Amino acid sequence: MSLRRLFRSPEAVAGFVILGLLGAMALTAPLLFPGDPLAIAGQPLLRPFQDWALPLGTDRLGRDVLAGLFHGARTSLAVGLAAAAASILVGSVVGTVAGFAGGLVDEVLMRITDAFQTVPGFLLSLALVSVVGPSLSVVVAAIALSAWTGPARIARAEVLSIRERDYVASARVIGMHPIEIAFREVLPNALPPVLALSSVIVAAAILTEAALSFLGLGDPNRVTWGGMIAEGRAVLRSAPFLSVIPGIALVFSVLGVYLAGEGVVESTAAREGQA
């Protein structure tokens, strides 16, 4: 996949521009707003542009909305990327083992996968965070636990096809251990379709984290966009900007991840079509 082909796609360009801005916000948050974003910074309920020292105003407690927006980007990116990486790792391992081993192992792992898929992902995350307690690591684990089934099924389908190929048979003939064959020869070739799910998982993870924070189940020591939206509910009529601003940021972040993922998929499909 060449960068020239990738950036011919308007969706990819728009997506990567949005992701670039989101990444810049996350990286520069400690530099531009080095203090505690949860600390009181001024008079409560200042409207946007009323005080240029606090350009997006303050919330009910006098906390800087712009600082919260930047630090919230760090939380959203951290949760989205970590949850996607964990779910793809677990799903790829489960799918590879199931597809390569076959038989009873395949049957047991797929029934476990079915059991997880019968429970709505958000409800599973909600239940786990409610039982264990709200923290960033628990939120990431809860989201990954509800998202690994998709990568597992795709990895299994790819492995079922790849395990019958000649180079796998050759590896068996020369005496390679089945685990070595599965994870060194088969899994790397099964990964591309699995990785195509990453943008969907990241977007879903960002939304799930925001929803958990909105319900008061996010990490209380971190600023989150869902928490900011929830904070603005009490004054929605008199100060709608407290919910609207983080809501817009949330929409654009999910849109950017989706558009970037679509652009990568289209570029890859075009390359394969030309090949």
With a cut of 80, say whether residue 232 has pLDDT above it: yes
With a cut of 80, say whether residue 45 has pLDDT above it: yes
- Inter-residue contact 75 to 134 (CB < 8 Å): no
Using pLDDT thresholds of 50, 70 and 90, give the confidence band for residue 129.
very high
Q: If you ran DSSP here, which 8-state letter would residue 249 be given?
A: H
CA distance 270 to 159: 24
Record the pTM: 0.88
Q: What pLDDT was estimated at residue 62?
A: 92
Q: If you ran DSSP here, which 8-state letter would residue 185 be given?
A: I
Mark residue 237 as left, alpha or beta (left: phi above 0; alpha: psi -120 to 50; beta: remaining).
alpha
Mean pLDDT value across residues 214-238: 90
Using pLDDT thresholds of 50, 70 and 90, give the confidence band for residue 268.
low
- Longest Cα–Cα distance in the chain: 75
What does the buried/exposed string (b/e) look like for 137-169 if buried means 16 or more CB atoms within 10 Å of the residue's CB? ebbbbbbbbbbbbbbbbbbbebbbebbeeeebe
Mark residue 93 as left, alpha or beta (left: phi above 0; alpha: psi -120 to 50; beta: remaining).
alpha
Winning range, highest mean pLDDT, from 234-238, 260-264, 267-271: 234-238
Q: 92-112, pLDDT tens digit by residue? A: 999 999 999 888 999 999 999
Q: What is the CA radius of gyration of the chain?
A: 22
The span from the first CA to the last CA of the chain, in angstroms, equals 11
CA distance 27 to 49: 24
The class of domain 2-274 in CATH terms is mainly alpha
Using pLDDT thresholds of 50, 70 and 90, give the confidence band for residue 8.
confident
Q: Which of 266 and 156 is assigned the larger pLDDT?
A: 156
CA distance 7 to 10: 7
- Inter-residue contact 262 to 11 (CB < 8 Å): yes
Q: What pLDDT was estimated at residue 227?
A: 92
With a cut of 80, say whether residue 136 has pLDDT above it: yes
Mean pLDDT value across residues 244-255: 94
Q: What pLDDT was estimated at residue 185?
A: 87
Spatial CA neighbour of 129 closest among 110, 144, 151: 144
Q: What pLDDT was estimated at residue 197?
A: 87
CA distance 57 to 63: 8
With a cut of 70, say whether residue 76 has pLDDT above it: yes
